[in-house]
Structure 1
Amino acid sequence: MWSEKYRPKTISGMVGNEQGRANVQRWFSTWKRGTKPLLLTGPPGIGKTTISRILSAEYGYDMVELNASDARSKSRLMSILNPIIENQGLADRTMIFLDEVDGIHGRSDYGGGQALLSMLDRVTMPTILAANSEDVGKMRGFVKISKHIRLHPIPPRLLRVYLNHVLEEEGVTIGPGTRIRILAESRGDVRSMLNLAQSLISDSDIQTDKFFQESSVEDGIEAFFKAKSITEAASVLNSMRMDPREKINAFYSGIVTSPLDSKNLSRMLEVISRADILYGRIIRTQNWRLLRYLNAILLQIYQENVPVRYAQYNLPFPILNGIRFEGRARRELNQYVGRQLHMSGSAAATMAVPFIIQLIKDKKIQSPKKHVDIISKVMSK
């Protein structure tokens, strides 16, 4: 597994949580009998186990790893921990790493949580507790007796650097859409990012980006506009697993080929424009954190009982064929539209100009004065 193959062996090999890592290292370097246990909280895949392994080895400890959620009952927990606690004087360089301590709370745990708190009072060796939960109320007992350090999801810019390193080491090339989706899906989780990337490589569908699409584009667009509430529409939008550019294009295609009144058409195209500007900024600045706002923008398209159906470039072939790269006038038109929509001229030639021509032909919008001649020529074909 890539997540194990590329697990960092040194602190400098880790990414993110610089201050948190420094605090953990300080706890190790100053530990003495009587020092409080260390409590690390944060979502999965951000390095709680890794940093504990690295520093335990660096400071010469033999780390015993246990999973608290596998020993929820008091009797089971005692059977595992008691031998370690009772023999701790004979093993001065032993330490305990107890993962998922947030998994032993609740009525089904039969005293496991309280038993662990009592046992920790007897421990005189370095002890690290780890939890995925950020709920301090739920973890109150452990927070009270521990040195609490919060670790956070890894920022997308650092995930991207790490992913690029792994892909280079593996000799694998993927498209930008695939890369964006991997980063977005992993949500700051390095382990999840590497597992997802490896599974996609193994499925050998990595170059097409089609793996993002759990349901058809048509089903997604039509379900969005048939939603009975904005909450339902948001759920549909979030389930549309596809490249961000493809998602924007899918909505654009459906909107401009549907029988909408001018008010709704104008409103929806304005939203599409804002979504396109956002995506362009993401590509230009490589600030993938902005991707989280894309669905929030597209959700503004929603309005109940609006007759939008998906149609992929449902335009006459002569218009599509005649508008691309044929003469200076057409190139100028493509570049003009591209500037207005914040995209390249070649992208505008395929994704925007054909629809604008169709809208002019249907008399839904007026032709820009500067390009009347070329538009009239294309429309006459």
Structure 2
Amino acid sequence: MFVSKYAPLTLSEFVGNKEAVATARRWLGYWPKIGKVLLLLGPAGLGKTTLATLLAKEVGYEFFEVNASDTRNKDTIIHQVAPATLEQGLFGSRRLVLIDEVDGMAGNEDRGGLQSLVDVIQKTKQPLILTGNDIKSDKIYLIEKKCKKDCTKLVLNLPTKEEIKERLKLICEKESISANDGVLSRIVEIARFDIRNSINIIEQVGFGKNSINDNDLNLLKGKDVFLKENDILFRVLKSKKLSIALDAMSANKSNFYPTDLIYCFEENLPYIYKNANDLAEGYLWLAEADKYASRIKKQNWFYLTNVAQCLASISTAKTQPINITPEEKFRHPQIGLMIWRGKQQQAEKDNFCKMWAPKLHISWNKMKINYPIYLAMICNNT
């Protein structure tokens, strides 16, 4: 994929936000004199994570990334995030710690997680970068308020048309694709000034060709070339026409990995498809999509088309109209929380086995394998 192939390798190749890049460089160079933490804010797709990665690479720091959306409570922040901010990297080098999507820490699941994050910021001994998509998020506001002296705030903006066009020209030259200035300008406008989506259009329209012209771009007219996750879910779940659902699946604004969308459908289907038969058929298509997604990991991206077709086919599963609107707020996948809960339950089981195995004069492994039997025996005798 062109997005990965032509990802910036140095800060000088980073597209747009030159002042913000210079400020980030200065923050890291003078750390911690102008703040222990750098708040990088702005819409998805501007390269916040890429900027953090390139900063660490430029100065030779070890890079450690944590996604705050998966770090939901006090315990996980204390045991996973805090140690990374207090310890040095390998061979005594400094470490740059990135906590991604802090505005994604969700609701009641936090259980003191946000306050623990504030404590981590105040005690960190390593440079710390926090990113967020929603500038007006309550969580961002709270972090700024409680860590005012420790924070340097940077808001990234969309690159200019000329900045994006310069990168597109470079890609076209390397791929031996001819495209004039007007065509490149139209591509930027169609992609709504999103560098990642602009590159995807070059790859999509220029596939197998040595030039791109206005007629090629006219094929995109009237289509939503890129959609957000919420829009994709709405169009697939609302429509009963497979063609509309397929168009939605091909207009993937955020370039979700297939399993991301599978988790989204899995989470929302029970709340949207009320008819049991419709729900069952929807899950059958979801299972097919998951099968092809696993083949992508093991074999190649050829199966991506199959995943999209299976997910789009969920639209044909319903026999009754679905009463949802474009403003519908779909549920966020809880897979991260489920994994965490599973690990917690496994840890409790391991601790139980380690405590009782010596008392029952059996090995820990035997206790673990026959856990339900021994648990019932212990409960009956207490």
Q: TM-score, normalised by structure 1?
A: 0.50
Contact 2:41 2:155 in 1 (8 A): yes
Q: Give the whole-Å Cα distance in 1 for the aligned partners of 2:128 and 2:102.
A: 12
RMSD: 3.1
SS at match of 1:212: coil
Q: Give the whole-Å Cα distance in 1 for the aligned partners of 2:110 and 2:29.
A: 35
Q: Give the whole-Å Cα distance in 2 for the aligned partners of 1:203 and 1:133.
A: 39
Measured after TM superposition, the shift of residue 63 of structure 1 is: 0.9
Measured after TM superposition, the shift of residue 37 of structure 1 is: 0.6
SS at match of 1:153: coil
Contact 2:27 2:34 in 1 (8 A): no
Q: Which residue of 1 aligns with 2:217?
A: 209
Contact 1:136 1:143 in 2 (8 A): no
Measured after TM superposition, the shift of residue 136 of structure 1 is: 5.9
Change beyond 3 A, Cα 1:85–1:158: closer
Measured after TM superposition, the shift of residue 105 of structure 1 is: 4.4
Measured after TM superposition, the shift of residue 214 of structure 1 is: 4.8
SS at match of 1:129: strand
Q: Give the whole-Å Cα distance in 2 for the aligned partners of 1:77 and 1:199.
A: 41
Contact 2:85 2:97 in 1 (8 A): no
SS at match of 1:130: strand
Structure-to-structure mapping, 1:212-291, within 5 angstroms: 212-214=220-222
Q: Which amino acid aligns with 2:50?
A: T
Q: Which residue of 2 aligns with 1:115?
A: 116
Q: Give the whole-Å Cα distance in 1 for the aligned partners of 2:4 and 2:25.
A: 22
Structure-to-structure mapping, 1:144-223, within 5 angstroms: 144=145, 145=147, 146-174=151-179, 179-202=184-207, 208-214=216-222
Q: Give the whole-Å Cα distance in 2 for the aligned partners of 1:202 and 1:73.
A: 45
Measured after TM superposition, the shift of residue 156 of structure 1 is: 1.3
Q: Give the whole-Å Cα distance in 2 for the aligned partners of 1:75 and 1:196.
A: 43
Q: Which residue of 1 aligns with 2:102?
A: 101
Q: Give the whole-Å Cα distance in 1 for the aligned partners of 2:97 and 2:207.
A: 36
Structure-to-structure mapping, 1:31-110, within 5 angstroms: 31-32=31-32, 35-85=35-85, 87-88=87-88, 91-110=92-111
Q: Give the whole-Å Cα distance in 2 for the aligned partners of 1:114 and 1:200.
A: 48
The superposition leaves residues 312-356 of structure 1 with CA deviations (integer Å, 9 ceiling, x where unpaired) of xxxxxxxxxxxxxxxxxxxxxxxxxxxxxxxxxxxxxxxxxxxxx
Q: Give the whole-Å Cα distance in 2 for the aligned partners of 1:64 and 1:11.
A: 18
Change beyond 3 A, Cα 1:80–1:33: farther
Q: Give the whole-Å Cα distance in 1 for the aligned partners of 2:124 and 2:80.
A: 14
Measured after TM superposition, the shift of residue 141 of structure 1 is: 2.0
The superposition leaves residues 243-267 of structure 1 with CA deviations (integer Å, 9 ceiling, x where unpaired) of xxxxxxxxxxxxxxxxxxxxxxxxx
Structure 2 residue runs without a partner (length 5+): 225-247, 249-382
For these two proteins, the number of residue pairs brought into alignment is: 217
Change beyond 3 A, Cα 1:87–1:3: same
Measured after TM superposition, the shift of residue 40 of structure 1 is: 0.8
Change beyond 3 A, Cα 1:77–1:201: farther
Contact 1:37 1:129 in 2 (8 A): yes
The superposition leaves residues 129-163 of structure 1 with CA deviations (integer Å, 9 ceiling, x where unpaired) of 11112216551122232211111110112111211
Q: Which amino acid aligns with 2:60?
A: G
Contact 1:100 1:130 in 2 (8 A): yes
Contact 1:46 1:188 in 2 (8 A): no
Q: Give the whole-Å Cα distance in 1 for the aligned partners of 2:9 and 2:110.
A: 35
Contact 2:2 2:199 in 1 (8 A): yes
Structure 1 residue runs without a partner (length 5+): 217-238, 240-381
Q: TM-score, normalised by structure 2?
A: 0.50
Q: Which residue of 2 aligns with 1:348?
A: none
Q: Give the whole-Å Cα distance in 2 for the aligned partners of 1:107 and 1:187.
A: 35
Contact 1:96 1:127 in 2 (8 A): yes
Change beyond 3 A, Cα 1:21–1:82: closer
Query: Matched residues, percent identical?
Result: 32
Q: Which amino acid aligns with 2:104?
A: G
Measured after TM superposition, the shift of residue 83 of structure 1 is: 3.6
SS at match of 2:15: coil
Q: Which amino acid aligns with 1:66?
A: V
The superposition leaves residues 198-257 of structure 1 with CA deviations (integer Å, 9 ceiling, x where unpaired) of 2333487965324414569xxxxxxxxxxxxxxxxxxxxxx9xxxxxxxxxxxxxxxxxx
Change beyond 3 A, Cα 1:214–1:175: farther
